């Protein structure tokens, strides 16, 4: 496996992922599982955060204790699908800064088109963790990271729930400096660009769409066909 990719194979992550794959899983339970899994993924992606010592007083005596150093990191959600992962990660790091990149796929060209962008002004001074549940073709992920780099981001990690080999290859070729974290790399894409065996559309399930309709509504995912007016400014 490429050293730029980390597959989070913790038993709890794999167990929850299996439950999310089940097509008969109720939407409410899927949301809960996604949030819990996102927290576990956040634990893995932040394991190398820098520390410094701080003098504190315990109930017994003074000590030099470790605390996070530097500016607070920034989570950037690829809208709208990324919000399901974002919520769970904020459970672990509630004081993190938050940004959003909104993308839709142009029906004529299938290229990712930006329709919203808002991040902290000092994004270049922060670790940026981009979240999007599905890395299928990777077009949206690549476009999001492109935009963040244009905005000044220098330290970026990318977190997804599932990836396809085709998406991993495209993403690492486009951004070899961005480490990729995922719970699993599945077998392949089908002719429509969906991950196999996959779990359908995580973004739509989080937004309460019916599971049989979820592949038609993706905004910020791999098959978005929305017009910009459908996205809040």
The domain spans of the chain are: 5-230
Rounded average pLDDT per 10-residue block, the chain, 233 residues: 90 97 93 96 96 97 97 94 94 96 76 90 97 93 96 97 97 97 96 90 56 36 31 26
- For residue range 165-201, what is the model confidence (pLDDT) as tens digits? 999 999 999 999 999 999 999 999 998 888 999 997 7
Predicted local confidence at residue 81, as pLDDT: 87
Alpha-carbon span 39 to 93, nearest angstrom: 9
Helices (H) and strands (E) in the chain, counts: 6, 12
- pLDDT attached to residue 113: 85
Q: Output the pTM of the full model.
A: 0.85
Per-residue pLDDT at 230: 28
* Burial status of residue 10 (CB atoms within 10 A of its CB: 0-12, 13-18, 19 or more): middle
- Report pLDDT for 223: 32
So what's the pLDDT on residue 208?
52
Written as six digits, the tokens of 82 are 């990324």
What is 5-230's CATH topology? Rossmann fold (3.40.50)
Q: Are 204 and 224 in contact (CB under 8 A)?
A: no
pLDDT of residue 205: 60
State both tokens at 190.
């089908």
Alpha helices of the chain — where are they, by DSSP H?
Answer: 11-21, 27-45, 83-92, 139-150, 165-174, 202-206
Strands 97-105, 112-118: pairing is antiparallel
Pick left, alpha or beta for residue 220 (phi over 0 → left; psi -120 to 50 → alpha; otherwise beta). left
pLDDT at 72: 95
Per-residue model confidence (pLDDT) at position 80:
77
Alpha helices in 46-138 (DSSP H): 83-92
Distance of CA 101 to the CA centre of its chain: 11
Query: With b meaning 16 or more CB within 10 Å and e meaning fewer, what string describes 11-26?
Result: eebeebbeebbeeebe
Write down the pLDDT at residue 89.
97
């Amino acid at each position: 496996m490429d050293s730029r990719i980390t597959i989070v194979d913790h038993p709890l992550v794999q167990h929850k992922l299996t439950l999310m794959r089940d097509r008969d899983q109720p939407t409410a339970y899927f949301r809960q599982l996604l949030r819990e899994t996102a927290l576990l993924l956040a634990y893995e992606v932040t394991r190398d955060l820098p520390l410094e010592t701080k003098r504190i007083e315990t109930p017994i005596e003074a000590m030099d204790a470790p605390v996070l150093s530097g500016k607070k990191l920034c989570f950037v959600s690829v809208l709208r699908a990324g919000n399901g992962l974002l919520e769970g990660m904020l459970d672990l790091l509630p004081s993190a800064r938050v940004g959003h990149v909104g993308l839709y796929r142009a029906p004529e060209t299938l290229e990712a088109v930006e329709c919203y962008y808002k991040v902290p002004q000092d994004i270049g001074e922060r670790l940026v963790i981009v979240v999007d549940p599905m890395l299928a073709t990777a077009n949206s992920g690549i476009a999001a990271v492109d935009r963040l780099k244009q905005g000044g981001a220098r330290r970026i990690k990318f977190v997804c729930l599932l990836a396809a080999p085709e998406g991993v290859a495209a993403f690492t070729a486009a951004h070899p400096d961005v480490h990729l974290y995922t719970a699993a790399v599945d077998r392949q894409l089908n002719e429509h660009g969906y991950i196999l065996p996959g779990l359908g559309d995580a973004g739509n399930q989080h937004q309460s769409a019916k599971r049989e309709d979820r592949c038609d509504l993706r905004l910020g995912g791999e098959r978005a066909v929305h017009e910009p007016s459908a996205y809040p400014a």
